[in-house]
Amino acid sequence: MNIRRPTLPDVYAYTGGRVPLLGLPWLVFVHGALNDHCVWTFPARWFAHHGWNVVALDLPGHGRSPGPVLPDVEACAAWLLKLLADQGIVSASIVGHSMGSLIGLEAAAQAAGNRTGPQIDHLVMVGTAVPMPVSDALLATAARDPLQAIDMVVAFGHARLAGEPGNPGPGTWHQGASRQLNRRILERSAGVEGCEHNLFHHDFSLCNRYNRGLEAADAVAASGRTRSHLVLARRDRMTLPKAATEVGRRLGAETQLLDLPGHDLMQEDPEGLLRALRAALGR
């Protein structure tokens, strides 16, 4: 559905096939770099049909949400909290993947510092690392030749099992699906306001520049308001599980480690991820 805002650009949100109802808790899914809401289809539908109001958002300039894109993680988090406030949502849980996990972390920290605005009940960081540095070589390639950079990320973003017949999604070409999604988002965002080069370079630069993640984790933990969870992948070569150790410690987070997938947990191990999310959110 499109969330209409009279003085601000509309926002597209997938609701899992259900109309939000009064009295149900809210669950917000935030996608990663060069993705959109569709990466969350499976868990979003499950939670929407099991007692939650669900919104899987397209961030500004991504998918069906118009631009301009936002300049940094802090601005994305502030945008998210304002969106919740404008809809009259006083509390919500956030599930974010990769770049989306940084946005969720920062949103929880900003909410902790403003008790009059929306509060975050649960923060689930999926496929995360704090900080989340991106190599100079990948950023340079993204600026110069984003299609080549997409191929690089697809190669590193999947575990070896994704290309074998015994993978958890038989009949699905995981790498091809990810490549096509990235290309579609890139093409759709051509010329969007706020990008120095293109959306791929913009999103990965956001991750690379965000340097207050541990400070944000301290703020979330100090508030005592938000229950934090990490869902990591043992075979992740983009955000190595060990790179989330310190943020998990500072948050006092419960950590679940999935054995099968790489960085693309939603596609490579959808059932395992759903079990982890259900455990994290108490459903």
Percent of the chain beyond pLDDT 90?
83
At residue 60, the pLDDT reads: 97
Residue 242 has a pLDDT of 98
pLDDT at 159: 86
The string of pLDDT tens digits covering residues 140-186 is 999 999 999 999 999 989 986 655 555 666 667 788 889 999 999 99
One-character DSSP codes across the chain: -EE--TTS--EEEE-TTS---TTSPEEEEE--TT--GGGGHHHHHHHHTTT-EEEEEPPTTSTTS--PPPSSHHHHHHHHHHHHHHTT--EEEEEEETHHHHHHHHHHHHHHT-TTS-EEEEEEEES--SS----HHHHHHHHH-HHHHHHHHHHHHS-GGGGSTTSSSTT--HHHHHHHHHHHHHHHTTT-TT-SS-HHHHHHHHHHH---HHHHHHHHHHHT--EEEEEEETT-SSS-GGGGHHHHHHHT-EEEEESS--S-HHHH-HHHHHHHHHHHHT-
Q: Which residue has the higher pLDDT, 5 or 94?
A: 94
- The stretch 241-252 carries a mean pLDDT of 98
For residue 68, say if its preceding peptide bond is cis, omega within 30 degrees of 0.
Answer: yes
pLDDT digit string, tens, across residues 199-245? 999 999 999 999 999 999 999 999 999 999 999 999 999 999 999 99
The stretch 187-208 carries a mean pLDDT of 94
User: For the chain, what are the domain ranges?
Assistant: 2-281
Question: What integer pLDDT is reported at residue 115 of this predicted model?
Answer: 83
Q: Phi and psi of 8, rounded to 5°? A: -135, 160
Q: What is the pLDDT of residues 95-153, one digit of tens each?
A: 999 999 999 999 999 999 998 899 999 999 999 999 999 999 999 999 999 999 999 99
Q: Please check whether residue 104 is in contact with residue 211, taking contact to mean a CB–CB distance below 8 angstroms.
A: no
Q: What is the CATH number of domain 2-281?
A: 3.40.50.1820
Residue 32 pLDDT class (50, 70, 90 cuts):
very high
The pTM score is: 0.95
pLDDT of residue 3: 81
Return d(Cα 53, Cα 46) in angstroms, integer: 11
pLDDT number for residue 168: 60
* Tens of pLDDT, residues 59-86: 999 999 998 999 999 999 999 999 999 9
